[in-house]
Chains A and B, each alone.
Chain A
Amino acid sequence: MRDRPEDKLRAEEDIKELMVRYRPIITFRVRKAIGAQNTDCDDLVSEILSQVMEKITSGEFRGESSLGTFVYTITSRRIVDYIREKTRVMKFAPEPEPFPDPQETLEQKEMSEKVQAALEKLKPKYRNALYLYYYQELSREEAAARLGISPRKVSELVNYALKLLRKEMKI
């Protein structure tokens, strides 16, 4: 039954769907762990995806956990291995992604320009809240003290600003 051509086709479609679904998630996790500027990112993501596919086709994934958790576990293990390998060579493990990111890709640059345009359109009260909360990384309480408003109001300003930005950028 398993070797019927239509079943094989279905399995291939599932794998394709799986790749489309998990590639961005794995990429995000890898970039966050080893730094977006790290040139090994793409290779590592491809390697993880191959491992996932291999384990699914070999029947190693038996549905004991969700597929997401299964992919997450493989990703995490591979990242730990990568850092271990690099530590031996580099003496120091790579730091998590630093700010600012100097290796913005063209696509990211375009998106970033969109965000900048949207940020510029915000009222000063929203910009001030975003600056203190995200750029200076102050807590809600610290930002509240700086702005002379309540911490609850800081949350409201930040959340509403995010909403306005996403509406403006249509993302």
Chain B
Amino acid sequence: MRKCKFEDMIDGYLLNKLSERDKELFEEHYFNCPACFEELQARSLIINTIKNHPEVLVSEEASLKVPLATRLKRELAAFFNVRQLAMTGVISLIFLAVIIAVVPKRQALLPDFTLTDTETVRGSSITLISPVIDMNQVPSFFEWKKLGENVEYQISISNHELLWKTTTKENRVVLPDEVKAKMVPGERYSWQVKAFGPDGSLIAVSSRVQFLVSTK
């Protein structure tokens, strides 16, 4: 159906927005045009209802809140121009890429131990202080670098087989006389320290260091 050219005046007429001249023109027109008068009546009913019952249009779900995406877009536009927005995007991407690249490595640094016969050791390490070189005599104590508070250390000394094993919260242990007595000059010994957290989980392992008790 072809639209009457006066149809565009209907809203203006009903909302009292037309000039006096246009108002008269349109009034004369709808006395002559049944199609426009029909449309005028229908729209008048709709507009009157909207004016009398606006709550129908602003119920909770249709509240006049601008859609979130549109609001964000507008607020972003208020802060940045297109170029700045693009730069922000690029910087965010780089930042994201760095995070993605770094996080897995950090995870790899977490203690992860497989202690079998071949003794695969990964994760944090404990630095052994003494003895780390060949000794002139049987060492009277074993010392390592402290890892932190609330850490329990397990020290083991072996030659061909396990010679002695003990636990301590210190970073130093004095070798008991009975063990000392077992260690003889000319023999090669090794020692290792393992650290356990408060919950008993293994958090660090030292490398196994060998030393020779020389015969003098």
Residues of A whose CB lies within 8 Å of any CB of B are 22, 24-25, 28-29, 66, 68-69, 71-72, 75-76, 96, 99-101, 104, 108, 111-112, 115-116, 119-120, 122, 124, 127-128, 130-135, 137, 146-148, 162, 165-166, 171
Contact = CB atoms under 8 A, between A and B. Distances in A.
Residues of B contacting A: mostly: helix
Nearest to B77: A148
Interface in B153-199: none
A130 B8 CA distance: 16
Contacts of B20: none
Contacts of A24: 37, 41
B42 interface: yes
Interface of B: 11, 15-17, 24, 27-28, 30-33, 37, 40-54, 56-59, 61-62, 64, 66-67, 70-71, 73-74
A106 B73 CA distance: 47
B74 to A, nearest CB: 6
A41 B62 CA distance: 38
Nearest to A139: B17
A171 B42 contact: yes
Contact of B16 (A96, A128, A148): A96
Contacts, number: 107
A112 B48 contact: yes
B56 A116 contact: yes
A127 B62 CA distance: 7
Nearest to B43: A162
A29 B41 CA distance: 11
B31 A68 contact: yes
A71 B27 CA distance: 11
Contact of A120 (B42, B51, B59): B59
20 contacts: A24-B41, A29-B27, A29-B31, A69-B32, A72-B32, A99-B52, A100-B51, A104-B52, A112-B49, A116-B56, A122-B62, A127-B59, A128-B57, A128-B64, A131-B64, A146-B64, A146-B66, A162-B46, A165-B46, A171-B42
A119 B50 contact: yes
Contacts of B27: 29, 72, 76
B5 to A, nearest CB: 16
Given A66-B32, A72-B27, A72-B31, A135 B50 contact: yes
Contact of A128 (B24, B31, B56, B62): B62
Contacts of A25: 30-31, 37
A135 B51 contact: yes
Nearest to A124: B62
Contacts of A76: 24, 27
B57 A131 contact: yes
B42 A119 contact: no
A115 B46 contact: yes
A132 B58 CA distance: 10
A119 B57 contact: yes
A124 B47 CA distance: 17
Contacts of B24: 76
A148 B74 contact: yes
Contact of B50 (A28, A131, A148): A131
A116 B67 CA distance: 24
Given A25-B37, A112-B53, 13 more contacts: A28-B44, A69-B31, A69-B32, A71-B31, A72-B28, A72-B32, A76-B27, A96-B16, A119-B49, A127-B57, A130-B57, A135-B57, A162-B46
